[in-house]
Structure 1
């Protein structure tokens, strides 16, 4: 495998088609599946933390490994910094979001907008902290470090959702826990990790031009754009219900809505809501992927962090 000197004096591998992420995924998936089987078979509550952690961290860790394997020569990122971004950055993001949302958000039609602004803001702040004192900044490094923070946030958040699903009014439900982890795992690549990777690319682009991370109109606009995508994602179920009832709602259903109650849906309406929700998620994911793809293909700028000068574009 070809290696290149890194800014920190070590050796860094070139971009590669290494398949270590596949090993991480399939070994992790096998361990999670075995844990599911043993937990159902024995009813051992001591296995619940293992089940939750394996299911919640499997996909995020896989994608962070995949991202790291594609870093090239000249990267300032080390495994230690990426691991720190995943664990520390993700934890700081979750804690910051929890505090701010508890103080500033209340049930309303605008709540999802607030969630998007807060969660993307705290992840950007955590990413900014993780990016300090780097020897140089490149857009690719920003994507990888941003993905690490975002996927760390997603893994911890999924753990919370899994535990919440476990506890029901009828007692502990392993079925609900497993279903929640499967759904969260399938959706994980298109959420927090992707959105924070976009912010990382923009943040590091501005840092490359100025020698250090800084707030610019482009970064602020990107933050607002990612927050909108986040808000639409979270609110897509409600949007799907509104669209389905708009198209198929009957008079008695609208009368219940006017009095503040959500009417019972027919099976065809429930199916239509699911179709609208999935279609909305697909559109949002496609927009984010195309956005990130455009950043990957744009001209690259990189300068040492201490230089403070504009480097020539490298193609």
Structure 2
């Protein structure tokens, strides 16, 4: 059966770009990913000739066809060090974290708390998947982020918080508890969590190059931290309460249903600010963004922990709007990222690598869904999904080149990705 290589994008014009392609003045379609004109350069041309709308796969060498879906590149020394070092730190942290949890919850409380904590954790990780679906971060980095939050940041908190307890003496225990909840917890916990973000930015900068990446890593770290903290709170409800079932239900409602994203939103503000700093790569700027980003995270954490007798009113009037604003902010980030992806792919289309209708398909959520459904009717959904992801990654590689970051390294990666695009196109077209 003869197949058109890609489905038409509904309602999208198929006008080709101008004879010289997008001009430098068009290189900044959104506020995100601004490109300085001095760094702008045309996309490399397709030596095999422009891709035509009716073409199945243009001049793909056999060895390139077998490369479809392959992983490009090898881990950098920084990424390898981050993975190994993070694993060692997480393992060592367990020797402090696990005994602490067991001492406070008992074995039964620990097991119940562990299972119950999987529910809010699943909600956070689902959000990470949705946000990061089309340009996913390496699994090893997401694993680092999760283990940092679940183990290392907890260990750092346990080691540092006694110094806060000794720094001030309170005659009233209620004042001491208020101090620990509203001052110590926001300062120490947000610092401990965000330290993992700083390591990611400094040692895996290739994969941390924008606000969306910052939010993804921050949500993953915060999800891990909240997971361990929930084990403690849920387990205590079992171990210390005279009516464990009702107390567990009450705490689960508060932490697992009403606020599963609390820590994610706190730390997400730090990740957002650090992500913007990553657009203009500079070590000093990244460290400065780390400290600046801690301020809103600590403030939001403080406001959450400061809610007292008027909890329900403040939750409805303050915390729910903050959550809604977070959702709107993430949607705006994704819209801006889609527009940036479209612009970068249009530049490759001008160089002959894509058709304009393919760009419309690859750079919009609706176009991607239509493409996957269309490919599924020919039993080629996995191949189409790989093609869409590869094109998205290619667009972000070009963004790194145009931002002036490690240009030669990313240009070499760009060449490999372009060859892979041809192979993936062949796999989809059959």
Aligned residue among 171, 196, 211 for 2:267: 196
Residues 296-315 of structure 1 mapped to structure 2, 5 A cutoff: 296=334, 302-303=399-400, 307-308=405-406
User: Partner residue of 1:79?
Assistant: 139
In the alignment, the residues of structure 1 paired with residue 149 and residue 191 of structure 2 have an alpha-carbon distance, to the nearest angstrom, of: 12
User: Partner residue of 2:194?
Assistant: 124
User: Partner residue of 1:224?
Assistant: 295
Deviation of the 1:292 alpha carbon: 4.8
User: Partner residue of 1:149?
Assistant: 221
Closer, same or farther in 2 for the Cα pair 1:59/1:213, shift >3 Å? farther
User: What SS does the corresponding residue of 2:153 show, helix, strand or coil?
Assistant: helix
User: What SS does the corresponding residue of 2:405 show, helix, strand or coil?
Assistant: coil
Deviation of the 1:278 alpha carbon: 4.1
1:57 aligns with 2:121: no
In the alignment, the residues of structure 1 paired with residue 284 and residue 252 of structure 2 have an alpha-carbon distance, to the nearest angstrom, of: 35
In the alignment, the residues of structure 2 paired with residue 162 and residue 109 of structure 1 have an alpha-carbon distance, to the nearest angstrom, of: 21
The answer on whether the counterparts of 1:206 and 1:214 sit within 8 Å (CA) in structure 2 is: yes
Closer, same or farther in 2 for the Cα pair 1:142/1:108, shift >3 Å? same
The answer on whether the counterparts of 1:206 and 1:216 sit within 8 Å (CA) in structure 2 is: no
Deviation of the 1:215 alpha carbon: 3.5
User: What SS does the corresponding residue of 1:237 show, helix, strand or coil?
Assistant: coil
Aligned residue among 157, 162, 171 for 1:102: 162
User: What SS does the corresponding residue of 1:147 show, helix, strand or coil?
Assistant: helix
Deviation of the 1:67 alpha carbon: 1.7
Residues 110-259 of structure 1 mapped to structure 2, 5 A cutoff: 110-111=179-180, 112-131=182-201, 132-136=203-207, 137-168=209-240, 170=242, 173-210=244-281, 214-215=285-286, 218-237=289-308, 240=310
User: What SS does the corresponding residue of 1:236 show, helix, strand or coil?
Assistant: coil
User: Partner residue of 1:282?
Assistant: 320
Task: Show CA shifts across 1:51-73 (max 9, x none).
Answer: 32121122223321332244255
In the alignment, the residues of structure 1 paired with residue 241 and residue 262 of structure 2 have an alpha-carbon distance, to the nearest angstrom, of: 30
In the alignment, the residues of structure 1 paired with residue 307 and residue 212 of structure 2 have an alpha-carbon distance, to the nearest angstrom, of: 30
More strand by percentage: 1
The answer on whether the counterparts of 1:135 and 1:306 sit within 8 Å (CA) in structure 2 is: no
In the alignment, the residues of structure 1 paired with residue 232 and residue 404 of structure 2 have an alpha-carbon distance, to the nearest angstrom, of: 41
Closer, same or farther in 2 for the Cα pair 1:237/1:8, shift >3 Å? farther
In the alignment, the residues of structure 2 paired with residue 149 and residue 127 of structure 1 have an alpha-carbon distance, to the nearest angstrom, of: 8
Closer, same or farther in 2 for the Cα pair 1:297/1:228, shift >3 Å? farther
Q: What is the root-mean-square deviation in Å for CA atoms of aligned residues?
A: 3.7
In the alignment, the residues of structure 1 paired with residue 287 and residue 335 of structure 2 have an alpha-carbon distance, to the nearest angstrom, of: 21
In the alignment, the residues of structure 2 paired with residue 84 and residue 141 of structure 1 have an alpha-carbon distance, to the nearest angstrom, of: 14
Query: Higher relative CO (CA 8 A, sep ≥ 6), structure 1 or 2?
Result: 2
Larger radius of gyration: 2
The answer on whether the counterparts of 1:94 and 1:153 sit within 8 Å (CA) in structure 2 is: yes
TM-score, normalization by structure 1: 0.62
Task: Show CA shifts across 1:113-138 (max 9, x none).
Answer: 33212211111102222442342423
User: Partner residue of 2:80?
Assistant: none
Deviation of the 1:228 alpha carbon: 0.6
The answer on whether the counterparts of 2:193 and 2:222 sit within 8 Å (CA) in structure 1 is: yes
In the alignment, the residues of structure 1 paired with residue 289 and residue 282 of structure 2 have an alpha-carbon distance, to the nearest angstrom, of: 16
In the alignment, the residues of structure 1 paired with residue 220 and residue 272 of structure 2 have an alpha-carbon distance, to the nearest angstrom, of: 12
For these two proteins, the number of residue pairs brought into alignment is: 240
The answer on whether the counterparts of 1:236 and 1:281 sit within 8 Å (CA) in structure 2 is: no
The answer on whether the counterparts of 1:146 and 1:197 sit within 8 Å (CA) in structure 2 is: yes
